[in-house]
Chains A and B, each alone.
Chain A
């Protein structure tokens, strides 16, 4: 069990650490970006490109830009996360202007968006345990987390699809996350 550090110090020093690795062109820096932020960044990209495979391509391109431009980052640009999000969004928007985006869009359309990711067959005990924990969450809350954090739906889209007022969607997402935190 690691020593509990103050969360702020932890995260700021984590950001500093990642940044210094990136500036030194240490591969571990990029790996840490991936480990800590890829989940959220992929979702940000999905909101724009609406296709999982394309989104992963965009994430890869964005990671390269992060790798290339780390020296140009400064705290005045906000947190590292905000900077990453900006890069991801710009890369995703660029992607939507390319020909392969239009082709993929046309041939794949959105039904894929609705399918929930199949859990992968990883049998590590901890994952299994975590899975049991999250299975305790009511399925409607789990569904909301999936839509909002992994499938790139905007709150407005969720409101439309589930036929719920926008305000309800916001409070439900908040409730979903706090229930999630209470069980993890």
Chain B
């Protein structure tokens, strides 16, 4: 059995959460007894949950345990158990409730309804926040990917500036000297009209533009085609969905010329 795999399966986190059934917990105990690594892992997890609990004020009230001994110095738990029980108190409350009865029921029902609405609202808000966080972390991932391309020594970087069609636009091309693969980072291009897609072209001297691949209008750095040889410039045109073998040069959005090295 692969202990590391077992540990990274998340079963120990579930064990401490109370997510496992008794049989499943016993299974964990059995393995932990056999493999000290598992036992160590459980202890470390427990310790970090504990530290977190203390730091975040999530430790149960210490009175819970002191009260057990305070209530009766001579430990006779059976009697204390009864004394501690809230049933009589609630029984009184219940009968009072019964007497006041119908009026209260209606009141509670509307309260309940309102609470339910509030709860639904909170859950919805929570879910919206989670989505926002998800989106932000995705953006961060994309940004990190872009930076990695910028920092890659094997990449030739070409910034393509907007032409008359869309002067504010720009996009970046990374051309890997080793693999010759071309990557595009769509930084600021207008959303393409329905049924259209952007296409990247490599421009070589004395040749029509060479298809370097179509790409999506998204934030990911996308890997396009492999281009070899002497490229003078890269340009992006707007084409019908699926791309074209011949560039519609009049629809060039951005263009960037390679620096002579």
Contact = CB atoms under 8 A, between A and B. Distances in A.
Interface residues of A, number: 78
B64 A56 contact: yes
Contacts of B69: 27, 30
Contact of B57 (A25, A120, A138): A120
B28 to A, nearest CB: 8
B10 A171 contact: yes
B118 interface: yes
Interface stretch (B48-56, B156-164, B189-197, B210-218): B48-56
A93 interface: no
A103 B87 CA distance: 11
Contact of A163 (B29, B50, B80, B130): B130
Interface of B: 8, 10, 13-14, 16-19, 22, 25-26, 28-30, 32, 36, 39-40, 42-62, 64-65, 67-69, 75, 77-78, 80-81, 84, 86-87, 89-91, 93-94, 97, 108, 112, 115-116, 118-119, 122-123, 126-127, 130-131, 133, 137
B6 to A, nearest CB: 13
5 contacts: A34-B62, A40-B49, A99-B91, A131-B56, A173-B10
Main secondary structure of the interface of A (DSSP, over half): helix
Contact of B19 (A56, A63, A111, A155): A155
Main secondary structure of the interface of B (DSSP, over half): helix
B49 A39 contact: yes
Contact of B46 (A27, A31, A40, A86): A40
Contacts of B30: 78
